Structure 1
Amino acid sequence: MKLKSFLVILFSVVSISSYAAYPDKSIKFLVPWPPGGATDQVARILVQPLTKELGVSVFVENKGGAGGNIGTQAFVQDKPDGYSILMATSSTNAAGPHLFSNQGFDVIKDFTPVVLVCTIPNIMVIPASSPWNSMKDLVNDAKQNPGKFTYGSAGIGASQHLAGAQFKTVTGLDVRHVPYKGSGPAALDLMAGHIDMMLDTGSLNNIKAGKLKALGVAADKRIPELPNVPSMKEAGVPMVANAWYGVMLPAGAPKDVTEKLNAAFNKVLNDPEVRKSLQSIGAQIDGGSVAEFTKFSQSEVKRYEGIVKMSGAPKE
């Protein structure tokens, strides 16, 4: 047997034996945002059924800051062995390159896409104590008081920031942006009345609990979870703004590990209880193949160039 052929066979055997047992230890599910926001909520819905499906512990680790960039920068340095997975979002992995001069990672070259999990529309929410009861109330008051009111976000480049900037562009209103280190902290300040409004993907439970009022859903139609809340277009503000959530590995992840994770996530996403939990936070469930998510995530980088430009959000 020629040496080259022998080495190819040997390498194949070593590769198969290295990953055949995957996974054989706990898996870190990195959320590059603080606890409480939509990204964190989605990840935490998935970890228990994933633990059951994969037979090893899957745990969430939050590493927030800089619009999701700090945690993501750390993630791309991890070994691409399947024991560190990322809850990627349209904020960091599609809009980010058009909002930051230097994110610290390349959204195409530094990742191995695994699966698209879901999409969630932004909802215009205000404090329960707010005197506004409709989008018309908000818009009229803001027109009469330019610069007085504020909207919160999970940080520069987050879906709430882009949606808020888009809202300003569509309405021509002068409302001030207040960035936080995650949508969880922003929602807490919103409920306390420290900011006036937020277009958010993670507030459905607070709406149902009566802690926030919903004035409009930034989707092309009403959502089943809030049948009495109009779409933004119905409410007089024609805009659609949502966020997607998907799983990625660092660049160079083995194909068999990627495919095994894809199969596990798809099985979990088809579980009735998981679907019910995701739908309870307003999620439209996706799933699909590695190839489909790869094509989608790459196309979203280009699409968000236009979204960021239309929103009027400045580049940092």
Structure 2
Amino acid sequence: MRISSLFTSVVLAAGLFTAAASAQDYPTKPVNYIIPFNAGGESDVAARLQQPVWEKLTGQPMVIQYVTGAGGAQAWSQLNGMEGDGYTIMGTNLPHIILQPMAQDVGYKTDDIANVYFFQYTPDAIIVPKDSQFKTLKDLVDYAKANPGLVTFSGSGTNSANDVAQTKFDKLAGVTTTYIPFSGTSPATAAVLGSQVLAGFSYTTAAISQGDAVRVLAVAADERVPSFPDVPTFKELGYDMVGGAYRGVAVPKSTPEDVRKAVSDRLDAVNKDPDFIKKMEDGGFVVINVPYADVPKFMAEREKDYQATAKLMGIAQK
């Protein structure tokens, strides 16, 4: 019995040592980075900017893969069935992983997602065609007040960051506008360019890609976005709106704590790389640093905010 117990103790100790060593040396092989959306979207663009910096700093490949469908829910509902060794990580989005389970059964709950790091957000922005009658946000608000419901906003999907932004804006501005969801940012932007709608709730990244074809009336950031130095923030104009689509990285729930932290630490190093920061800002992204230890507080703040907005959106709280 003593020999057996001693053998068991040695095996357990060896296992713990191996786990600790693997976390300390992480990564020692390629990492699979799953994006829950199609190639070419903001989540993919951000991951593609992370990829070379990760490989430079860690010396290991980052392999980007796609599991698409149901606005990201297809991938998130599968996450916890994957191996929790730190070598499978997945992109996550807010408000998606909060509002989706709140609105309906999507195969996962918000608490099922083990986020380890949040690294950026794409600020919401109101865009109009370059020849629009609205030269400023005040022009649009004045028109909306005089014509309730006639200002139409395109946006990327239902219960998305754009949907949330339009709901919050209506409340803050004291107006009633009409939100028209599209299947993604590209068709929503096309609706603005084709004058199918009067304006669009979009993102700074999408506005950059359109160049002079659109006018940006305001951005939902704490400070002016470097790519749009002449465009005021909502806060400058008297509306307390900061946010957009927040993006982070999660791991399967079976992933040990030390490995979760190791993944977070490597992503944090990527996020602090000067070249990475410049490319992100040039692309219209706002870089944020929310490491693993700060994720619970960050998520609690976001959940409180989205739950309040969900009531205005008519989403039943589950």
State the TM-score, normalized to the length of structure 2: 0.83
Report SS of the residue matched to 1:67: helix
Aligned to 2:275: 273
> Distance between the aligned counterparts of 2:207 and 2:263, measured in 1?
29
| Alignment CA distance shift 1:156-1:290 (3 Å) | same
Deviations 1:75-122 (A, max 9, x none): 333222223212212212334444x132321222x2333222123421
Deviations 1:129-185 (A, max 9, x none): 433221123233344544444322222221111001212233344433222333244
Aligned to 1:71: 75
Tell me the amino acid that sits aligned with residue 314 of structure 2.
Answer: P
Counterpart selection for 1:82 from 63, 81, 86: 86
Please tell me the root mean square deviation across aligned C-alpha atoms, in Å: 2.9
Aligned to 2:55: 51
Counterpart selection for 2:251 from 249, 252, 269: 249
1:275-290 residue pairs with structure 2 within 5 A? 275-290=277-292
Tell me the amino acid that sits aligned with residue 155 of structure 2.
Answer: S
> Distance between the aligned counterparts of 1:188 and 1:161, measured in 2?
17
Is 1:164–1:198's contact at 8 Å kept on the other side of the alignment?
no
| Alignment CA distance shift 1:293-1:5 (3 Å) | farther
Structure 1, unaligned runs of 5 or more: none
Tell me the amino acid that sits aligned with residue 285 of structure 1.
Answer: V
Residue 61 (1) aligns with residue 65 (2): yes
> Distance between the aligned counterparts of 1:69 and 1:17, measured in 2?
34
| Alignment CA distance shift 1:287-1:218 (3 Å) | closer
> Distance between the aligned counterparts of 2:289 and 2:241, measured in 1?
26
Aligned to 2:315: 315
| Alignment CA distance shift 1:5-1:177 (3 Å) | farther
> Distance between the aligned counterparts of 1:179 and 1:42, measured in 2?
23
> Distance between the aligned counterparts of 1:224 and 1:186, measured in 2?
24
Report SS of the residue matched to 1:130: coil
1:15-30 residue pairs with structure 2 within 5 A? 16-17=17-18, 20=22, 22-30=26-34
Tell me the amino acid that sits aligned with residue 49 of structure 1.
Answer: V
| Alignment CA distance shift 1:65-1:230 (3 Å) | same
Aligned to 2:157: 155
1:1-316 residue pairs with structure 2 within 5 A? 1=2, 3-4=4-5, 6-14=7-15, 16-17=17-18, 20=22, 22-98=26-102, 100-108=103-111, 110-201=112-203, 202-206=205-209, 209-235=211-237, 237-309=239-311, 312-315=312-315
Tell me the amino acid that sits aligned with residue 29 of structure 1.
Answer: Y
| Alignment CA distance shift 1:7-1:193 (3 Å) | farther
> Distance between the aligned counterparts of 1:308 and 1:274, measured in 2?
34
Deviations 1:222-280 (A, max 9, x none): 33432211222444655334342221111111233322222211111111100111222
Is 2:37–2:44's contact at 8 Å kept on the other side of the alignment?
yes
Structure 2, unaligned runs of 5 or more: none
Tell me the amino acid that sits aligned with residue 11 of structure 1.
Answer: L
Tell me the amino acid that sits aligned with residue 110 of structure 2.
Answer: V
Tell me the amino acid that sits aligned with residue 104 of structure 1.
Answer: G
> Distance between the aligned counterparts of 2:5 and 2:193, measured in 1?
66
Report SS of the residue matched to 2:242: coil
> Distance between the aligned counterparts of 1:119 and 1:271, measured in 2?
17
| Alignment CA distance shift 1:295-1:141 (3 Å) | closer
> Distance between the aligned counterparts of 1:181 and 1:64, measured in 2?
13
Report SS of the residue matched to 2:95: helix
Tell me the amino acid that sits aligned with residue 56 of structure 1.
Answer: Q
| Alignment CA distance shift 1:200-1:25 (3 Å) | same
> Distance between the aligned counterparts of 1:160 and 1:139, measured in 2?
17
Is 1:278–1:285's contact at 8 Å kept on the other side of the alignment?
yes
Is 2:114–2:251's contact at 8 Å kept on the other side of the alignment?
yes
Is 1:66–1:156's contact at 8 Å kept on the other side of the alignment?
no
State the TM-score, normalized to the length of structure 1: 0.84
